[in-house]
Chains A and B, each alone.
Chain A
Amino acid sequence: MQQAAGNGTMLSLRDVRIVRGERTVLSVEKLDLAAGIHVLEGPNGAGKSTVLLAAAGLVDLAAGQVLLDGTVLHDGMAPAPVERRRRIALVFQDPYLMSGTVREAVEIGLKIRRVGSQERRTRVDPLLERLGLKHLASKRSTKLSGGERRKVALAQALVLDSQVLLLDEVTVNLDEASKQTLIDILRERAGGGHQVIVIASHDSELAHRLDARVHRLAGGRVLDDGVRRP
């Protein structure tokens, strides 16, 4: 079992039920995700992406609440209020990049938060460098390969330095070097002890390399409560 107390940062789902069409696609009584790295595992359609969308306040909740450190992030209709959503960053399973250059794409979230151009640059540049995107900075985002697009989407989220980071099938299309870079970045951030990182993935090797807690999902339910694989 994981420590619920400690430094406090905690993302929780309480009695969350999500209905799409007529069908209940997610039903989670209690899921607590403390600071650190968590992997949601499960077959296609298990509800992994839906958990992330719920935590990001982007899908209607038929019942229940999403809480961060005990305060409500999302309940009821999506989208959740903007100031709550800004505590969270999400990389979609199939990311869309706005037209413009790669640099512009990575800066969008900071621009929305009215971060000045000087500071944007000092936050974006090292990240582009580290993810091997620097040479693409002025390339149009519509002209990228699948893997490049995913790395830009990752950079968009990472640069926000939010309390909660949600990553959906994030290693798809990534080469081994990029994957290792991502793993290093995530482990560094988790080491800080303040960020909750949740990854939906069916790559079980990834959970091991991240030393993550694994939560198995099936049929819209959480099967176990954060075991750490040996």
Chain B
Amino acid sequence: MILEGLRRAFEMLLSFDPQVWGPVRVSLEVSCVATLLAAVAAIPLGVVIGLSRFAGRRIIVSVLNTMLALPTVLVGLLVYGLISRSGPLGAWDILYTPTAMIIGQTILAMPMICAFTVASVERSDPRIRLSMLSLGAGRIKASVAVALENRAALAAALAAGFGRVFSEVGVAMMLGGNIRGYTRNITTGIAFETGKGEFALGVALGTVLLVVALAVNFAVGYWNYRGGRRQ
């Protein structure tokens, strides 16, 4: 039965079956947008935390690291409470839409990207900032230069954030609702189809998930390595 399932799964993948590629598209779109939105906030914040030396900095960093383990269903629950009909943002009417999934995944990706950014800035070459300051740069320009010189490590941070949200189920299920052709993504699709006995479709979706997750993991490792090199 497993072999037969595998064979049918590959047929579906190769024939561009919309039952497979629909959820793949939703996953890619939602997770890419969420990762980019998270990065816009998390990278500058991470650079500032990584370069500064105020009291209580250590505490912020450990809170951040703890948030990496934030269960996805808790984030789902929190956002659900905000956007469901009776919630404070109920008027937006966005529950069970891709927008809701994006909000949840953005919240999930932010601590990941921020923590990676802090770590890379902390172990980056301290001479970068000092050189820029000595050449007449203001603090902001000097910080931007630190980010640019560490762009490989920041790419790893992005990939790590994307890896976190791309493979999660909790937020997608609770806020997206697994609506076929609309909010059904790879992970909710797998859970649903397998439960229904559609094993081959589950395997086909699982294959895409695995390939993307491996590629992302490889990218994180590669960029981390590049980011660690020094002059």
CB contact under 8 A between A97 and B138, given known A58-B133, A92-B127: no
Among B134, B138, B148, the residue within 8 A (CB) of A90 is B134
Q: Cβ of B131 and Cβ of A95 under 8 Å apart?
A: yes
Question: Given A97-B231, A99-B149, A112-B141, A160–B127 Cβ distance below 8 Å?
Answer: no
**Chain A residues whose CB sits within 8 angstroms of the CB of B231 once the complex forms:** 96-97, 142
Among A3-11, A78-86, A190-198, the one that faces the other chain is A78-86
Inside 8 A of B148's CB, which chain A residues have their CB? 98-99
Q: Quick one: which of B125, B139, B145, B149 contacts A79, CB cutoff 8 A?
A: B139
Residues of B163-177 whose CB lies within 8 A of A = none
Question: Is the Cβ of B145 less than 8 Å from the Cβ of A109?
Answer: no
Residues on the A chain within 8 Å of B141, using CB: 112
| Binary flags per residue of B113-138, CB closer than 8 Å to A gives 1, else 0 | 00000000000010110111111111
Residue A185 interfacial (CB < 8 Å): no
B9-27: CB near A (< 8 Å → 1, else 0) gives 0000000000000000000
CA distance A160 to B133 in the complex (A): 14
Question: B127, A112: Cβ atoms under 8 Å?
Answer: no
From B125, B127, B133, contact of A85 by CB (8 A): B133
The number of residues on chain B lying at the interface, defined by a beta carbon within 8 Å of a beta carbon of chain A, is 18
Interface string of A41-76 (1 = CB under 8 A from B): 000000000000000101000000000000000000
A-B contact count (CB 8 A): 54
Instruction: Indicate with 1 or 0, residue by residue over A92-118, a CB within 8 angstroms of chain B CB atoms.
Output: 101111110000000011001100000
- Residues from chain B with a CB closer than 8 A to the CB of A112 are 135-137, 141
- Counting chain B CB atoms within 10 Å of each CB, which of A79, A90, A156 scores highest? A79
Task: Determine how close the nearest CB of chain B comes to the CB of A94; give it in whole angstroms.
Answer: 7
- Tell me how far the C-beta of B52 lies from the nearest C-beta in chain A, rounded to whole angstroms: 12
Query: What are the residues of chain A within 8 A of B138 when measuring CB–CB?
Result: 82
A6, chain B: closest CB distance, angstroms:
27
In the complex the two chains form, is A98's CB within 8 Å of B127's CB? no
Residue of B nearest to A109 (CB): B135
B130's partner among A92, A97, A98, A156 (CB-CB below 8 A) is A92
Is A89 among interface residues, defined by CB-CB distance under 8 A? Answer: yes
Chain A interface size band reads 20 to 34
| Nearest CB of chain B from residue A143's CB, rounded to whole Å | 10
Are the C-beta atoms of B131 and A160 separated by less than 8 Å?
A: no
Residue of A nearest to B128 (CB): A96
Return chain A residues, CB-CB under 8 Å to B134: 56, 58, 85, 88-90, 92
Give every chain B residue within 8 A of A94 (Cβ-Cβ).
Answer: 127
The CA-CA distance from A112 to B133 in the complex, in Å, is 10
Asked whether, in the complex, the Cβ of A98 is within 8 Å of the Cβ of B136, the reply is no
Q: CB-nearest residue of chain B relative to A97?
A: B231
Name the contact of B127 in the complex, choosing from A82, A96, A108 (C-beta under 8 A). Answer: A96
Given contacts A98-B145, A99-B149, contact A86 B136 (CB under 8 A): yes
- Closest residue of chain B to A79 (Cβ to Cβ) is B133
- Complex CA distance for A56 and B136, rounded to whole angstroms: 10
Chain B residues near A85: list those with CB within 8 A: 133-134, 136
Instruction: Note all chain A residues with C-beta closer than 8 A to B133.
Output: 58, 79, 85
B-facing residues in A171-211 (Cβ within 8 Å): none
How far does the alpha carbon of A142 sit from the alpha carbon of B231 in the complex, in Å?
Answer: 7
Supposing A97-B231, A98-B149 touch, asked if A92 and B131 sit within 8 A by C-beta, the answer is yes
Give residues 134-155 of B contacting A (CB, 8 Å): 134-139, 141, 145, 148-149
A-B contacts besides A85-B133, A95-B127, A142-B231, 8 pairs, CB < 8 Å: A82-B138, A82-B139, A85-B134, A96-B130, A96-B231, A108-B135, A112-B137, A160-B135
Which 7 pairs of residues, A with B, have the shortest CB-CB distance? A96-B127, A109-B135, A86-B136, A90-B134, A82-B138, A112-B136, A96-B131
Write the residues of chain B forming the contact surface with A, with a CB cutoff of 8 angstroms. Answer: 125, 127-128, 130-139, 141, 145, 148-149, 231
